[in-house]
Amino acid sequence: MDRTMAEDDKQVEFGTLAEQKDEDGYDDRPEDDADDGGNKPENSILYGRDNEIKSLKTIYQSMVNGASEGQRQIVFLAGYSGMGKTSLVQEFVRQVSLPNGHMSEGKMNEGHPRPSFISGKFSQIKTGDPFSALLQALNGYALQLMAFEDEAQSADSERRDEPRRLQKRLAEHDIVRGNHNFQILCETVMPALEDLLPRSFEEKEVDQDTTSTLDTAHSANTHSTCRDINQIKFVFQSAIKAIATAERPMILFIDDLQWSDEASCQLLTELLKDSSLKNVMFIGSYRSNEINFEENDDTPLLGFARLKTELSEGSSSSLPPPHEMDIANLSSDSVAQFIADSLGKTTTDVGSITEAVYSKTLGNAFFVKQALEELKRKNVIYYDVMTFQWHLGDVSGVELHEHISNDVISIFQSKMRALPELLQSTLALVAYTNHTFDLELCYDLVKSNYGGEFNRNLLEQQIELAIDEGLLMRDVSTIGRGSNLYSATFKWAHDRVREAACELVPSGEKRDAFLLELAHSLMRRGEVHKIEWALFTAARHMNSIPRSLTDDIEVTSLNLSVGKLAASKGAFADALVFFNEALRRFDDGTIWREDYYLALELMNCAMESEQAVGNHESALAKASEITTHAKTLRDKKRAHLVSIDSNFEGNHMDYTIWIDKTAVILALYGIDIPTKPTVRQVQVEVMKFNMALRGRTTLCFNKFPVASDEDVITQISVGVATLRRAVVATRNYLVAILSYRLLRIALAKKIITEDLTAVVFGLTFIFRKLQKYKNVFSFGNVGETLMTRFPSMQNDTVFVLNKLGLVGVRSYQVHYRDTIEPCLEIHKFLLARGITDYAMACGMQGIFALLVSSVPLNEVVKSKLQHFQDIAANFGRDTFVVVFSLLRQFLYNLEGGESAAAVSTELNGHAFNEEEVQNNPAFEGPTRKMNNREISMARLHLAVYFDDRDVMETMLARLQDLPVFDICVSRQHFRVSFMGIASLILKKKNPKHADWAKKSISFFEKLAKAGSPNAVPVLACMKALDSPSVGAFDEAITVAAGTGLINMSALMSERCALWLMEKHQVAGTCGLWISTNDDGEDSQINSEIQEYIRNAFWFYHGWGAMSKCSALKSRYKFLDVRLHDKPPSSIATIRRISNWHSDPNPSTKDSLASDIRTKACTLPAPQESKP
């Protein structure tokens, strides 16, 4: 027989679980038989699902015990309503949660980890509350942990300590009480975290809200700040990763995905596409007959349809593809066995009942059970209290068919109409609210909407009756949080039960009146207790009622409030539903006359939401309406800001169209700009700015007060919005003119605003391109000081982007190694806020800073590169994937070993394949050019290190047309330094390289003159190559070693030896063997060359470039007999270089190195210089 039953359930002979008593309540059965009968044909055994259970357990086992290293697994369960999808998952979880979860073919591994089961469900009656199922799942998990923590006397210390372990894991993912990530998590998908994590003493002293746990879980957010959905994605992923561990894997079950909202699907898509997600088995169920997976131009895929398609078709090769299981009807044999077990009969005894039930239900598991209960309720089958057995009445097969309703809804309606009036009213009321509810909510709604008399005790009895009748269930996530029924929450036994309860209210005018009264009750409760779902539900009901029954201003205000709540969670698509519903009530524009400020706020919010979801044409249309009706320029500000951005995006960055429209907007604020600026106009603007300074320096801005005049603040903010788009469009003349114009406004008013920081760093960007580094440093100092004037903005995204600009400036002023941590911190911050491109660029800046700092080539560097590569892959940033993977291969080639390429100067190895990337059709146009640039840079470095002049020629030819400037400072250093070195090496044989040699020397000379410590060693190396001498090379080696650039010391040591060989023509042209027995001057030269080669070897060795060391040993045979076991330190090498040349003071070069370190580590003070 194909049925699933746990070992500890096999003693239930008939599957009837409830006690049976006679009319007087007396049960005359023996005690050991008292639980074997039942006045209901109940059965908790799962029938006909052995194969599905086995498949689910196999998938789970492959995750926890297989070779996949805990990689996430996805299972989609498809089937009609009532097929038993939820019961299947619950039985599967029960079995794998046993100490030795069994499979049909033997047991799972001893000591397999017990999972954390987290489940949520989307509701057919959509309230509009974003993330409802995810919130239900994570909140339920948090409440369970709090219940474990309350079990002070529990012997299960592992469960009791789980909240503290979770707190530690959350902290590892930067989710701690009070920080930004914690706040986002509490406001969106896990409000109960506020109660789970321990409070400080001061927080405990604050009076707590008296609302119930459920109310707190949905508390309304009073602020209107709009969250970026990417911020929520990042924090949600971090929370899931903190919960799921190898010791306690997570089974995340989300039911009824066909009713999911767009924002929830975005969160789930990003989570399940994350290759770093481990120990999570996601199970999603959906009704296959209620979802359409076919896409066309008129109906693009949205919500769950897009989620499933993206995961199925776009799954990474490194991730297991989703598993799909179709849950079909039960077979007639399974139905027969279910009925037989429920009634304590054989399948032969119940043949007629089986035939009637199966013909009506076609094997739908839920329908089968309800049909059996209906037969019992109509006394077609009955329980004999004398014999303790079930009996079939004297009815024919035809009559059996007539006694079974044609659908489940009819069964439940029939059942509910037999209930007390109070219970019917209660069920109807809560059916139109939330999927889960508590007794306090029932009491409030019944008190407001029920006309009869009742009290709390009577209502409690009615709820217990609904549970006994199988209509409601206790929510297991709240069990253990109190013994009082009022501390528990309840949910519907099935969606069909809820649908039947909704039908208790007749459609038409009666239902409209019912929903109107209910909506007002929910509004009051939502506003008083700050319950978000109550407000969302009230808005939905108000919107479904004919307009003639409602007050337009009231409904519009409600839609505006809940729309702003949705936008605050990043669910802009859901927010637009409410905003547009409100706007439809005033198609004729009368709202501007009836309530001007309500209309202004509603239109602004709708416009900004349209822009957020990428509907730029709709956003511009709403902006146009606002500017037509708004009374003041200040009221038009938000519309103008959206117009500036949406005109840019909506016109596909067509600069001509954008600048013409933007210039008109700026003119309204007193900012006149040329649409086609020239160099002359830039010079005039600079002159006017210098005149406005009146002999002061740029540091005078630091002494001005913060602006309080709203008109000035608006003027500057509109100008800065334009400035940002001009930077993206690389219109440097416009950037310069607009920046100086805004600074002149601030000088004239003698004020500063937070937006001026962006203006200042915009100018540093321009001066970097012009290589005017003193001006870069001057304005950088101003920007840094301005940032300290706005401490409240330190967690603001714009503030951190300005901080990124400051790191770019400071990268010229301090050692690159000192910028690595700030870059990684900003990367982390921006990634958490969904600014992925900037975050990845910041990570790239940090990685190149690692490389140009000459840090040891070890696992730390490679692990960081792998980390960034994984993040880029998860977010679909293929260009960054190319950068990080080729840099990994670059390191492998230097280190040597199995992961290195066969040819050291090629990038075809374990981590990267140049040929595949070059031939990838996904990379076209600018993307292909960028990939070629990154590949050529890395190969040029390798060619210089391995002295492959042919590859140097090829790579320089590829890079020849690139400008010196690069927006990424550390990458600029990485590229320009070695383009200069390679050009200097080759320029004697090929004069065409002299131009780049000159450019690179000029670049580093300007930086060194401005005080950049990073330029000094590179400039010394270039001068040694440009005008070679032993002294010049020694100085380059010493300066590089003194600033920690061991790779440059190695390279200069080797280049000096090669130069000496070429100069003295020692041992032919290749230098394969240098004699150690020659006499006279040649012997002295040979000895000197060998010492340079030997020191180059040890420098490379200390750096970790073992492949290069092998190449040196292969080329110079004397290294085999001259090497010692212990490599010398860098300082010892410098001393030895001093001794070779008979320096009377061996510490001279030590002092020089120390002096270089001192100068390089000293930041220049803010300069009182004029721009």
**Residue whose pair of structure tokens reads 């079974």 in the numeric block:** 404
- Mean of the pLDDT values across residues 590-611? 93
CA distance 415 to 620: 54
Strands 472-474 and 489-492: antiparallel
- Amino acid in position 703: K
Residue 315: pLDDT band with limits 50, 70, 90: low
- Mean of the pLDDT values across residues 489-501? 89
Reduced to 3 states (helix: H, G, I; strand: E, B; else coil), residue 438 is: strand
Token pair of 735 as six digits:
């950037």
Strands 436-438 and 489-492: antiparallel
pLDDT for 310 equals 86
pLDDT for 659 equals 92
Supply the DSSP string of 1060-1088, one letter for each residue: HHHHHTTTTTT-S---SS--HHHHHHHHH
Q: Among 21-30, 55-64, 747-756, whose mean pLDDT is lowest?
A: 21-30
Higher pLDDT, 399 or 341: 341
| pLDDT tens digits for range 543-574 | 999 999 999 999 999 999 999 999 988 889 88
pLDDT for 34 equals 41
pLDDT for 1127 equals 53
Q: Among 135-139, 434-438, 791-795, whose mean pLDDT is lowest?
A: 791-795
CA distance 479 to 542: 34
Give percent of the chain with pLDDT exceeding 90. Answer: 50
Higher pLDDT, 384 or 238: 238
Stretch (H or E) spanning 389: strand 389-392
| pLDDT tens digits for range 766-779 | 999 999 999 999 99
Q: Using H for helix, E for strand and C for coil, what is the string for 750-762?
A: CCECCCHHHHHHH
Residue 320: pLDDT band with limits 50, 70, 90: confident
Q: CB burial class (10 A; 0-12, 13-18, 19+) of residue 925? A: exposed
| pTM for the structure as a whole | 0.79
Residue 1017 has pLDDT above 90, yes or no: yes
Higher pLDDT, 13 or 1124: 1124
pLDDT for 26 equals 35
Q: Using H for helix, E for strand and C for coil, what is the string for 114-135?
A: CCEEEEEECCCCCCCCCCHHHH
| pLDDT tens digits for range 807-832 | 999 999 999 999 999 999 999 888 87
CA distance 855 to 869: 20
363 φ/ψ sector (left φ>0, alpha ψ -120 to 50, else beta): left
Residue 204 has pLDDT above 60, yes or no: no
- Mean of the pLDDT values across residues 948-953? 96
- Amino acid in position 1145: N
Residues 6+ apart with CB under 8 A from 1153: 1038, 1039, 1041, 1042, 1043, 1131, 1134
pLDDT for 1128 equals 52
Residue 13: pLDDT band with limits 50, 70, 90: very low
Residue 103 has pLDDT above 80, yes or no: no
pLDDT for 118 equals 93
Q: What is the DSSP letter of 354?
A: H
CA distance 1039 to 1016: 8
Q: Among 130-134, 519-523, 600-604, 988-992, whose mean pLDDT is lowest?
A: 988-992
pLDDT for 352 equals 87
pLDDT for 225 equals 54
| pLDDT tens digits for range 1121-1135 | 555 545 555 445 444
Q: Using H for helix, E for strand and C for coil, what is the string for 813-825?
A: HCCHHHHHHHHHH
pLDDT for 529 equals 87
Cα–Cα distances in Å, from 812 out to 557, 806, 999, 1025? Answer: 53, 10, 18, 23
Token pair of 846 as six digits:
């940090």
Stretch (H or E) spanning 74: strand 73-78
CA distance 713 to 227: 23
pLDDT for 344 equals 86
- Amino acid in position 147: A
1108 φ/ψ sector (left φ>0, alpha ψ -120 to 50, else beta): alpha
Q: What is the DSSP letter of 961?
A: T
**215: Cα within 13 Å, side-chain hemisphere:** 20
Residue 936 has pLDDT above 90, yes or no: yes
| pLDDT tens digits for range 707-720 | 999 999 999 999 99
Residue 958 has pLDDT above 70, yes or no: yes
pLDDT for 1103 equals 95
Residue 396 has pLDDT above 80, yes or no: no
pLDDT for 413 equals 85
Residue 1162 has pLDDT above 50, yes or no: no
CA distance 1062 to 967: 39
Residue 731 has pLDDT above 50, yes or no: yes
Chain mean pLDDT for the chain: 83
Residue 584 has pLDDT above 70, yes or no: yes
pLDDT for 448 equals 84
794 phi and psi angles, rounded to 5 deg: -65, -25
Token pair of 6 as six digits:
């746990």
pLDDT for 449 equals 80
Q: Among 580-584, 857-861, 1008-1012, whose mean pLDDT is lowest?
A: 857-861
Residue 1087 has pLDDT above 90, yes or no: no
Cα angle: 973, vertex 975, 979; to 5 degrees: 115
- Mean of the pLDDT values across residues 927-944? 95
Residue 1066 has pLDDT above 60, yes or no: no
Q: Could you tell me which residues are beta bridge partners of residue 78?
A: 286, 326
Residue ranges in 651-709 assigned as alpha helix (H):
655-668, 679-693
Q: Among 179-188, 300-309, 355-364, whose mean pLDDT is lowest?
A: 300-309
Higher pLDDT, 301 or 447: 447
CA distance 946 to 1058: 12
Higher pLDDT, 226 or 1057: 1057
Cα–Cα distances in Å, from 675 out to 722, 731, 983? Answer: 12, 11, 41
Strands 102-103 and 106-107: antiparallel
- Mean of the pLDDT values across residues 30-45? 52
Q: Using H for helix, E for strand and C for coil, what is the string for 900-938?
A: CCCCCCCCECCCCEHHHHHCCCCCCCHHHHHHHHHHHHH
